[in-house]
Structure formats: structure tokens, C-alpha cells
Amino acid sequence: MTRTVLTVDDSRTMRDMLRMALVGAGFNVVEAVDGEHGLEVLSAHRPDIIITDINMPKLDGFGFIEAVRVDDDYRAIPILVLTTESDPAKKQRAREAGATGWIVKPFNPEKLVDAIRRVAA
Amino acid sequence: MDELEAIKVTFFQECEELLADLEGGLLAMQEGAGDSETVNAVFRAVHSIKGGAGAFGLEPLVRFAHVFETLLDAVRAGSVPNTVELAAVLLRASDILADHVSAARGLGDVDMAASAAMAAELETWTDPNAAPVAAAPAVVEEAAPAPVAVAEPVVAADDAMDDDDLGFIFVPQTISVEAQAADADLVPSNVWTVSIRPKSDLYRKANETALLLRELNRLGPIKATLDDRALPALEDLDPEAAFVTWSVRLETEDDEAAIREVFEFVDGDCDLEITRGEAAVEDAMASLLAVAEAPAPVVEAVEPPPAPVIEIAAPAPVAEVAPVAPAPVVEAPKPAIAAAAPAAATPKATQVEVPGPGQSVIRVDPERIDRLIDLVGELVINQAMLAQRVGEYGIAPSSNLAMGLDELEQLTREIQDSVMAIRAQPVKSVFQRMPRLVREVANMTSKQARLVMEGENTEVDKTVIERLSDPITHMLRNAIDHGLESPEERKAAGKNPEGVVRLAALHRSGRIVIEVSDDGKGINRERVFGIAVKKGLIAPDLQLTDEEIDNLIFLPGFSTAEKISDVSGRGVGMDVVKRSVQALGGRISITSRPGLGSTFTLSLPLTLAVLDGMVVDVAGETLVVPLAAIVESLRPKPEEVRPLGPVGSVLAVRDSFVPLIDVGQALGYRAHSPHPTDGVVLLVEGEDGSRAALVADAIHGQRQVVIKSLEQNYQQVEGVAAATILGDGRVALILDVDATIAMRRREGGAPRPTEPTLIAAE
């Protein structure tokens, strides 16, 4: 069964990179451009895994994760956060918001699929 | 790697947008916008550039963006105050960031010294106590980017990751404690005991113990034991809470760090103990046995939860067994990555949905549009020829044929307008490069300048857009370098030390007008006049109006800068700008008010393809006068014509007098003008608003003509803007109204020199 990954990132480049890696690994990909959009896409596509950026307009990654976690329908979805090595504080905040794990940028497809495997059954 | 290349193209496109956002946000900050959304947007722009650059291994760009981002993050957090001075620094940093982006793209180089200096400056802002010295060389050394491999997607989702399939199954199994204990002596050195006690937070974040076990199993065969003694009775059970502890015996060649890495995501969300050897397993077994021997009474009340023992191991057979407690055992083949193959084989079958904001844009090769425009041009000429033939046959204007032709003409025009609209672009693409230029020039000349732009969305044909950049660049440089005073001078003059340079685009009578004005000191006419005399450009006794003196700066060989500055004195004077503008059928002029500033006005046709014109006869030649310049046409009465000077004359039009110019004489077709009352007068207005009355012999009517460049096909001729092909196939010249007025003004109405300009109108 093909699983669906929702990627939420305001950068087109990053969305494209994620899509390339995920499609290459056999996932179905849906995309959103910010947290608000992410919540809309979430209810429309019911993804199995979510990968989200943190710095986004409208609703940032922290807010997005919190919103997913308070929703009984979606709170069990694993969420991976895209983060940079340099920022342990942000990683911590993302975890407090309810992130399942993280992917350090820049990532390569193996790292990405590895992180998904670790959080998704 | 086509896909990756395509993403790289996207990245650079996105960089352009992000850099524009960055600059916009920083300019807003400089204007005093300190709201968090602006600062956040600025931060995100740099952050996204860095993120993408990291993915492509563009190291120098990443390094610089990182330093930049760090400062912006501090500003965002409020630890560095958001001030106007800071915004100025950030703007300069954004310029260098743009250079890095261009360099990464293979367009141009980065001044690494400047970049290092800026990085150091940014770091000083971030932390005033940090020694900036360390940062500088670090950035300079980045000439050779360390390649970062971006691998092809290799590992596919293995089938072990399918829904509800953890890659292992529960199998009831019995355990011999004795056997375990007996084996203890034989424990190899690569055995580890991992004790995991999840907290409820672990589950709240959608982590899953079973997945952790699966990950451990990737390191080697495991045997996991569940301690559920803390599990309360069902009625007391908080389903969200965590009660169990796992003990895992792991055999692996990997080190402790590798084991710890499995728990990276749940660090802090579970109590974790990793010990070498098997002791802990025995402890766990002992406690397990204790439970089995003395089951808690509550357990009996409900379905007693079995004490499960899970073995997740490749064919490591568990030794034989006295039944102690029924225990489910999980047995599974090692989740094989090789099983990924079938999934990976059909990656392209996966649907990608992009529910992003929809835009429907068609990309067309510009050459196709150019070809279309050429064809429409031919159509216009052809239609004109047809109309002329019909006229020659004396067909009544009310006839069906003539009416049909009128409709054809309308359609042709509409097609032409529509096609031109396809190629029209807002001048924004040129304007958006200018803020940086202004900053750089201001920096170099130690001036303070603020650029105000208006009319960025004014549309103009692509052919014109491409030619706007150079003259605008020159005019802006000139405005800052020569126009604006130094901050001290400005203060002394009671002005704001920061000068304002205004760049505006507007449509005016079928042309695009670009104005560059400054609030500087204006042109020093005395000095300009003196220089022009000294350089032998004009006679010392020449009487000139203020405006004429101002425009002396366009004379070839004129340069007002006493010292050659970095900025303007690059050997390209305003005369070169003027010539290139004229070559496009454009004009440039300057007006100046001492102490208040100067304004450069550049006007160009909206398109270099077509023109609405009035066809006139002059001395047996057919000429086209651009309709945009014509205010009215009239037949003068004898009493309205007044002589002025020895040969000149003026025309009284209502309350004013307008110089009379015989077009035939101006272009050298004839030495002696007929009396104006014998011909038709076209009242025209030049770009600078000056009026003149052009005398022609007869008027043929209005026509749209396709412009054919005279410069490209012949050479530039003063007083002539371009040429066209008329309906009957003849070549007609298009009059340059402003040049004609200027010629007359320069010669003070004197008759033209005897050698006529040779113009072949064939």
C-alpha cells in the first residue's frame, strides 16, 4: 500500500527536493505552502506521515504541529520536522509542540527515508 | 540527474523572489517598520536561501547566509535592537548575499574580501563582544566549495513498513530461565542490554515503542522482555499514560553510540539504560518470574494481561524450556532492506498532488512572439496598401468594399495591440535592480541617499525594457554623485542629510517617460558654462538660456566632475547616454533649479515597432509626423505670422507666439521656405513642453506605420527618427519633432547651412 506524505514548506525548492526523494522512495506526496494550508490539506488527504518546516508565514511549524496534535483525528500521525543542525533550541521547541522526530537539513534521500522509517509503521 | 537540475533552476528562481522579498522587507525596516511579521519575513527569506543552498552544497553561499541568518534571528528574538542603522547594514549584506547567489549560479564573482568584511560586520552586530577577526578568514577560504553529495533516492520504503506490519509477529513461546542463566558464561562481548521505560510524552508525540524495537533489530538480533508490573487494573488504567518497561537483549557489532542513536527522537521521553552484557536481562527475568509466581490479585479480576516475551530475531533459536508462563513471542526475519526492490521499481507511478495556489501561465519562446509582431507589422502595411488602392479606384467610402476595409483596419489594429500587449512588461524588472545601485553609489561617494520609486508597474514593450537599464543606471549615478550634496553640506543648507532620489515611470502621450530627480544642489550653471567654454565646446560670448546651459552636460566631451570619481567618471559621459537614447527614438533632457535639485527626463516610444503618424507632404517628399507630438493642425492667416529677427518668424497662436519652422528647410530639402500661409501648420509640442509650428505643404491624413530603423539600415540622421514603408511601397521618413525644434533653437532661426543633409527616400 502506498503511503501518503504531507510536506509543508514555504520554499518551493525544499518542497521539490522532498518530493523528488519521497516519490523516488515510493511514497505518495501532497504538499502545502504553510501551516494554515497544511491543516487544510491534512483534512483533505489524510496523510500517513507529515514532514514540516518550522519557519513559515501565516502559521509556523510549531503552531502547525500543535494544531495537529490537539485534533483527535490526526494526533497519532508521525510528524517529522525539517531543522538545521545549528539549532538545538528549535528542535526542542518542536518536540515540545509534539514533533515525532526531525530531519536535519541538508538531507539526502537516504536520511529522509531513514527518518520516516523510524517513526512510521 | 535531470530532476535535480530542474530543482536547482527552481531554487535560483526562488532565490530571486526571496532576494526581492528580503530587500523589500529591509527597506521597510529602514523606513521604521519594526513589526515582527516584517522581521520574520526577512529572516525566512535568508533562511530559505540557506536551506536550498545547503541542499545543493553551495558552501560559500551557505556560510554567508548562515552568518546573516544568525544576526536576523537575534533581531527576531529581540536580543539585537532593530534600528535604522542596522537595516542599512542588512541591506548591504543582502547585496552581498545576492552576489553569492549569482556566483553560485555561475554568473559573476563574489568580492570575497568584501564578503568576509561584511560577515565580520554581521557577527559584530550579533555579538558585539566577539572578535570579528576569526570570522573573516573562515569565509575567504571558501573559494572551493566542499561538494556535498546529493544522492539519488536509493532506499525505498521496505515492505516491512506496510500498514499494521511491524516486520515481526507475535509467537507464543516459553522460556527456560535456567538455560538463560547457563548461557550467561557464553555471552559474547557484543551483547548489550537496553532497558526502555517510555513516558506518556513518547506516545503523545506519535512515537512508538514497537518501532524502536524494530530499529534495534536492524542493529542485530534482539530479544525483548516486557515488564508490565506497573500496569494498573483496567478500570484504573489511564489509556494515555505509560506503564511498561522493556528489556532488550541485543547482539550487535555496532557501538553504544549506534544504539543510542535509535533513541534519538525519544530522548527525554523515556528512561533509557544501555549496558554491556546480559546482567540486566537476568534481573528482568527474575522480576518477571516474580510476577509470574505471585500474580497481583487485581489481575485476576479482569483478563490477566500476559507477561509477554518478545523475541525479535533472525533464526536465533531459543533453547528449550520448562513452561513458566505463557508468553507471546515475536519472531520475525530481519526486516530486509532488499525487500524494498519492488516498491522502488515503480516510483514514478506515485501521484504527486500540489494543491498550492494555482496559476495558469503559458511560457512561450520570445522568438515566436517577435515573429508574430513582425507578421502583424507586414499585415498593417499590407492593409494600408489595400486601402490606398481602393482609394485610387475611386470607390465610394460608403460602399461595402470600403466599409469592409475599414473593419479590416480595425481588426488589424486590435490584433496589433493585443500582440504588443503579450510582449509588454512592467518596468519593475529594471527598477528592482536600482535600490542596490543607489546604496552602492551612495556608499562609494559618502552620500546618504534614499530611493523612491514610482510607477514600477508601467508597462512597456520588451524591446524597450531591455534598453532602459543603462540610461537609468547612468542617470541615477549622476543624480547621486553630482546631484546630491554631502550630508554635511546638506545640513549646512538646512536640508535633511539624507538626500532623496526619485525614479518614476509613466505613460505620456504614447511614450514611456522615465524621470530621475534629486533634491540636491542643482546644476552649477556658471561652472558648466565655464567648462564648456574651456573645453572649446561653445563660444565664450554665446548667450544661452538656463535650460540650454543645463543641457550642455549632454555635449560630447563634457564632464563636470572636477575629480574623476569612482562612480560617474568611467569614461561614459552623458553624451553617450543621450546618443544611445536617441538611437531608440528617445530623448533625454534635464531641468534644474539651483539649491533644489535636478530632474532628468527620458522618454522612449512604448514600442519600437509601430507608430501613429500624420502623413504630410514637404517639398515633394512624404514625411510622417508622430501623432503624439501634434497638438493641432491649422491654416495660418497672414496676420498671425510675424517676422522675428532677420529670417525667422513666429506664429501667433491664441495668446502666445510659437516659432515657425519650415520642415523642408530644416531637413535641407529646400533653401527658401514658402510663405506659411501657403501651407499647413502643425502645432507640435516637444518632450520638454516647448511648442513649435511646423510648416508642411499638405496633409494626407493619419496612418499607423511600422517603424523601420534608419540607424540599422542606413545611419542616424538629425531630425529624422526612423523610416517606414507606405501603402504604395515608398519609403517615408518619420520626423523627429524634438530634434527639429532643437535644431531651430540652436541655429537661432538662421537658415540652414548650404550643404543639405543627404537623405535617400527611396
Same domain, yes or no, for B574 and B439? yes
Same domain, yes or no, for B643 and B668? yes
Report the gap between the CA of B54 and the closest CA in chain A (Å): 5
Cα B423 from Cα B414, distance rounded (Å):
15
Asked if residues B313 and B213 have their Cβ atoms less than 8 Å apart, the reply is: no
Residue of B nearest to A83 (CA): B51
Asked if residues B373 and B706 have their Cβ atoms less than 8 Å apart, the reply is: no
CATH of the domain at B486: 3.30.565.10
Residue of A nearest to B56 (CA): A106
> Which residues of chain A does B207 touch, with a Cβ-Cβ cutoff of 8 Å?
78, 100-101, 119
State yes or no: pLDDT of B343 exceeds 70. Answer: no
Residue B298 lies in a domain: yes
> Which residues of chain A does B205 touch, with a Cβ-Cβ cutoff of 8 Å?
69, 79, 95, 98-100
A8 CB near a chain B CB, below 8 Å? no
Cα B605 from Cα A49, distance rounded (Å):
57
State yes or no: pLDDT of B291 exceeds 50. Answer: no
Pairwise CB contact (< 8 Å): B10 & A12: yes
Same domain, yes or no, for B502 and B589? yes
CATH of the domain at A45: 3.40.50.2300
Same domain, yes or no, for B622 and B735? yes
Cell numbers standing for residue B11: 531554487
A59 CB near a chain B CB, below 8 Å? no
Domain count, chain B: 5
State yes or no: pLDDT of B524 exceeds 80. Answer: yes
Q: What percent of chain A shows pLDDT beyond 90? A: 17
State yes or no: pLDDT of B29 exceeds 60. Answer: yes
Report the gap between the CA of A21 and the closest CA in chain B (Å): 5
- Phi, psi at B116, each rounded to 5°: -65, -40
Cα B625 from Cα B694, distance rounded (Å):
10
Residue B336 confidence class, pLDDT cut points 50, 70, 90: very low
Q: How many CB atoms lie within 10 A of CB B326?
A: 13
Same domain, yes or no, for B450 and B386? no
Report the gap between the CA of B136 and the closest CA in chain A (Å): 20
Pick the closest to residue B589 from B738, B743, B430, B434 (CA basis): B738
A113 CB near a chain B CB, below 8 Å? yes
Domain boundary among B529, B562, B595: B595
State yes or no: pLDDT of B155 exceeds 90. Answer: no
Pairing of strands A4-8, A49-52: parallel
Q: What is the DSSP letter of B239?
A: T
For an interface test with B, the pick among A6, A12, A80 (most B C-beta atoms closer than 10 Å) comes out as A12
> Which residues of chain A does B148 touch, with a Cβ-Cβ cutoff of 8 Å?
106
Pairwise CB contact (< 8 Å): B355 & A44: yes
Q: Measure CA B454 to chain center.
A: 18
Residue B509 lies in a domain: yes
Q: How many CB pairs under 8 A join A and B?
A: 179
Instruction: Give pLDDT tens digits for B438-480.
Output: 888 888 888 888 899 999 888 888 778 878 888 888 888 888 8
Cell numbers standing for residue B320: 528449550
Same domain, yes or no, for B418 and B433? no
Residue B155 lies in a domain: no
Nearest CB to A55: which of B44, B166, B347?
A: B44
The ipTM (two decimal places) reads 0.85
Residue B509 confidence class, pLDDT cut points 50, 70, 90: low
Instruction: Give pLDDT tens digits for B585-625.
Output: 677 888 888 888 899 998 887 776 677 789 999 988 999 99
Residue B172 confidence class, pLDDT cut points 50, 70, 90: low
A117 CB near a chain B CB, below 8 Å? yes
A106 CB near a chain B CB, below 8 Å? yes
> Which segment, B286-290, B512-516, B547-551, B650-654, is predicted with the most confidence on average?
B512-516
How much is the average pLDDT of B557-561?
62
Cα B374 from Cα B377, distance rounded (Å):
5
pTM: 0.52
State yes or no: pLDDT of B664 exceeds 50. Answer: yes
Q: What is the DSSP letter of B571?
A: S
Same domain, yes or no, for B583 and B443? yes
Report the gap between the CA of B234 and the closest CA in chain A (Å): 22
Instruction: State the helix-helix crossing angle for B84-104 and B59-77, rounded to 10 degrees.
Output: 160
Instruction: Give pLDDT tens digits for B567-584.
Output: 444 445 777 777 777 766
CATH of the domain at B45: 1.20.120.160
Pairwise CB contact (< 8 Å): B156 & A16: no
> Which residues of chain B does A55 touch, with a Cβ-Cβ cutoff of 8 Å?
40, 43-44, 47-48
Residues paired with residue B505 on neighbouring β-strands, in sequence order:
B514
pLDDT of residue B173: 56
Residues paired with residue B139 on neighbouring β-strands, in sequence order:
none
Cα B19 from Cα B25, distance rounded (Å):
10
State yes or no: pLDDT of B160 exceeds 70. Answer: no
Tell me how far CA of residue B69 lies from CA of A17, B117, B120, B476, in angstroms. Answer: 22, 16, 13, 31
Nearest CB to B154: which of A16, A77, A110?
A: A110
pLDDT of residue A49: 92
Q: Which residues contact A92 (CB under 8 A, 6 or more apart)?
A: none
Q: Which phi-psi region, left, alpha or beta, contains residue B597 (left: φ > 0; alpha: ψ -120 to 50)?
A: left
pLDDT of residue B167: 56
Specify the higher pLDDT residue, B241 or B175.
Answer: B241
C-alpha dihedral over A65, A68, A72, A74, to 10 degrees? -110
Specify the higher pLDDT residue, B143 or B185.
Answer: B185
Cα B693 from Cα B633, distance rounded (Å):
9
Pairing of strands B597-605, B511-518: antiparallel
Pairwise CB contact (< 8 Å): B44 & A10: yes
Instruction: Give pLDDT tens digits for B702-746.
Output: 877 877 777 767 777 888 888 888 777 788 999 988 888 888 777
How much is the average pLDDT of B385-399?
81
Residue of B nearest to A13 (CA): B11
Asked if residues B324 and B175 have their Cβ atoms less than 8 Å apart, the reply is: yes
- Range in B296-300, B366-370, B542-546, B595-599 the model is least confident about: B296-300
Kindly report the CA angle at B419 between B416 and B421, in degrees rounded to 5?
110
Same domain, yes or no, for B579 and B620? no
Which structural domain range is residue B421 located in? 367-425
> Which residues of chain A does B162 touch, with a Cβ-Cβ cutoff of 8 Å?
1
Cα B516 from Cα B557, distance rounded (Å):
22
Cα B11 from Cα B4, distance rounded (Å):
10
Kindly report the CA angle at B521 between B518 and B527, in degrees rounded to 5?
125
State yes or no: pLDDT of B523 exceeds 50. Answer: yes
Residue B752 lies in a domain: no
Report the gap between the CA of B346 and the closest CA in chain A (Å): 7
Domain boundary among B289, B319, B334: B334
Residue whose grid cell is 530623448: B587
Query: Helix H segments across chain A?
Result: 12-24, 35-45, 61-69, 88-97, 109-119
Instruction: Give pLDDT tens digits for B107-142.
Output: 878 788 888 888 888 888 887 775 544 444 444 444
DSSP per-residue letters across B482-500: IISPPHHHHHHTTS-SSEE
Instruction: Give pLDDT tens digits for B78-105.
Output: 888 888 888 888 888 888 898 889 888 8
H helix or E strand, kind and range, residue B659:
strand B656-662
pLDDT of residue B460: 86
Cα B375 from Cα B234, distance rounded (Å):
85
Pairwise CB contact (< 8 Å): B206 & A76: yes
Pairwise CB contact (< 8 Å): A33 & B357: yes
pLDDT of residue B225: 83
How much is the average pLDDT of B238-257?
82
Pairwise CB contact (< 8 Å): B51 & A13: yes
Pairwise CB contact (< 8 Å): B211 & A119: yes
> Which residues of chain B does A25 touch, with a Cβ-Cβ cutoff of 8 Å?
153, 155-157, 343-344, 347
Residue B292 confidence class, pLDDT cut points 50, 70, 90: very low
Pairwise CB contact (< 8 Å): A121 & B264: no
Average pLDDT over all residues of chain B: 75
Asked if residues B573 and B593 have their Cβ atoms less than 8 Å apart, the reply is: no
Domain boundary among B543, B569, B595: B595
Report the gap between the CA of B37 and the closest CA in chain A (Å): 8
Q: What is the DSSP letter of B673?
A: P
A26 CB near a chain B CB, below 8 Å? yes
- Phi, psi at B665, each rounded to 5°: -75, -40
pLDDT of residue B500: 92
> Which residues of chain B does A113 touch, with a Cβ-Cβ cutoff of 8 Å?
153, 155-157
Domain count, chain A: 1
Instruction: Give pLDDT tens digits for A4-50.
Output: 999 999 888 888 888 888 888 888 899 998 888 989 888 888 899 99
pLDDT of residue A113: 87
Largest CA distance in chain A: 37
- Phi, psi at B600, each rounded to 5°: -90, 135
* 3-class DSSP state of B294: coil
Residue whose grid cell is 508597462: B459
Cα B56 from Cα B226, distance rounded (Å):
45
Pairing of strands B648-653, B641-644: antiparallel
State yes or no: pLDDT of B358 exceeds 60. Answer: no
Pairwise CB contact (< 8 Å): B157 & A86: no
Kindly report the CA angle at B672 between B670 and B676, in degrees rounded to 5?
105
Which structural domain range is residue A75 located in? 4-119
pLDDT of residue A6: 93
Pairwise CB contact (< 8 Å): A13 & B210: no
Residue of B nearest to A99 (CA): B205
How much is the average pLDDT of A85-110?
80
State yes or no: pLDDT of B164 exceeds 90. Answer: no
Pairwise CB contact (< 8 Å): A75 & B10: no
Same domain, yes or no, for B316 and B377? no
Same domain, yes or no, for B717 and B728? yes
Pick the closest to residue B216 from B287, B274, B281 (CA basis): B274
State yes or no: pLDDT of B699 exceeds 80. Answer: yes
Specify the higher pLDDT residue, B186 or B473.
Answer: B473
Cα B735 from Cα B619, distance rounded (Å):
14
Nearest CB to B41: which of A16, A57, A100?
A: A57
Pairwise CB contact (< 8 Å): A3 & B11: no
pLDDT of residue B286: 53
Largest CA distance in chain B: 135
pLDDT of residue B687: 63
- Is the omega angle on the peptide bond into residue B172 within 30 degrees of 0, that is, cis? no
State yes or no: pLDDT of B528 exceeds 60. Answer: yes
Cell numbers standing for residue B684: 507640435
pLDDT of residue B323: 44
Residues paired with residue B329 on neighbouring β-strands, in sequence order:
B171
Q: Which residues contact B53 (CB under 8 A, 6 or more apart)?
A: B11, B61, B62, B65, B104
A90 CB near a chain B CB, below 8 Å? no
Q: What is the DSSP letter of B480?
A: I
Specify the higher pLDDT residue, B18 or B190.
Answer: B18
> Which residues of chain B does A1 touch, with a Cβ-Cβ cutoff of 8 Å?
162-163
Q: What percent of chain B shows pLDDT beyond 70? A: 75
Specify the higher pLDDT residue, B384 or B598.
Answer: B598
Nearest CB to B354: which of A24, A31, A110?
A: A31
